A and B are shown apart, each in its own frame.
Chain A
Amino acid sequence: MNNQRQLFQQLFEDNSKKVYHLCYGYTGDRDSANDLMQETFIKVWQNLEKFRNQAQLSTWIYRIAVNTCLSYLRTAKRRATDELNENIVENYAEEYSEKQEQIALLYKSIAKLEENERIIISMVLDEIPYSEIAEVAGISEGNLRVKIHRIKHKLTEIYNSNERV
């Protein structure tokens, strides 16, 4: 039990930040991201025994995080992008600075992408290896590279057009 707790703590410390970024990128607001991150790690705890035999623990954690995010939209009513964006701006209003404004704009831009694009780009931005992203998303690496190329271009375009407004 103690070993299990130690392993879990280690997994939490190593992965929580990136899982949080993934959830934040997907939902666009901090509260939901925190909820989803908690839910992800609860499921990680419940599956800890199955994880022991896996070589890449982080891949499995991301897989759970992605599936948890996907089932989140299943229950939450899909909000209009504008509403999502207002939330993002509100979240940052308290600690306003130029950099925070740019980050808010970045999340606002990510929110305009499709669900799988949000997941993939959050992992790309966190510099997760392509092979791992492909494994998590369940697609081939070749297909992933094509998708990433397209998403990078799309995100940059959306970000710059938002910045000009």
Chain B
Amino acid sequence: MKGFDEIQQLWQGQRPEPNVSFETILKRIQGSKAALAKKLFWQSIAVGVAVVLLLWMCFTVDFSTWTTYLALAMLGGCVCYYFLNQLRDYRDIKNSEHLLSKPEDYIQYLKTFQQKRNRFNTRNYAVYEICVAVAFGLYGIEMYFVLPFWTFVGAIAFMVFWFLICHYIFMKQYIRNENARIEEMIANLERIKSQFRDV
């Protein structure tokens, strides 16, 4: 039978000590900065390539209908919107003001941030899907005038089939998984937040 004082003595005599040196931390600080910068760099490159490709198509390919240009503009808008949102969230994570908040407030921040990310990932997925579908639909008008009739029908049938697969299989599964994950996370955060409530 031990009393609390004996437990405390046991704790203070423990050997476990951090096996991380000051130099390791400094190296990791450099490393983590580089990793984030690298990730942002490659994302920017990917977006840049996509935008350049869309602009190149706009200026070099002579499309016969204005709807195709509208479709390209919509696709470009989607890519840029996604990238700007990612950038804003990275900045939000890096902004460590919240880190100095009371645990209860910090948990509230985590909860709000996660809910916002969830909305972005699920609701916006549907918006993307609609935008991409409309863009391809607009491009379909161009194809109608350019392609032989049965090739056009085949292309449209393939696009419709692909969108149905995306909508009914990929999107539904993705949203279901995301919602389940976020619900579990929010429940955990709520539970921990209630522990820190000052009553």
State yes or no: do A and B come from one complex. Answer: yes
Residues of A within 8 A of B (CB): 5, 8-9, 12-13, 16-17, 19-21, 24, 30, 33-34, 37-38, 41-43, 45-47, 50, 60, 63-64, 66-68, 70-71, 73-74, 78, 95, 99-100, 102-103, 106, 114-117, 124-127, 137-140, 143, 152, 155-156, 159-160, 163
Q: CB of B16 within 8 A of chain A? A: yes
Residues of B within 8 A of A (CB): 1-4, 7-8, 10-20, 22, 24-26, 28-29, 32, 96, 98-107, 110, 114, 185, 188-189, 192, 195-196, 198-199
Majority-rule SS of B interface residues: helix
A24 pairs with B16, CB closer than 8 A: yes
**Distance, CA A67 to CA B131, complexed state (A):** 39
**Distance, CA A89 to CA B123, complexed state (A):** 45
Which residues on B sit within 8 Å (CB–CB) of A140?
198
**Distance, CA A37 to CA B22, complexed state (A):** 11
B110 pairs with A71, CB closer than 8 A: yes
Who on chain A is nearest to B25 by CB?
A41
From A16, A60, A70, B192 is in contact (CB under 8 Å) with: A70
Cβ of A118 to closest chain B Cβ, rounded Å: 10
A34-B18, A73-B188, A100-B15 are contacts. A115–B100 as well, Cβ < 8 Å? no
A34-B20, A70-B107, A156-B3 are contacts. A63–B100 as well, Cβ < 8 Å? yes
Which residues on A sit within 8 Å (CB–CB) of B185?
74
A163 pairs with B101, CB closer than 8 A: no
A116-B196, A139-B196, A143-B199 are contacts. A38–B2 as well, Cβ < 8 Å? no
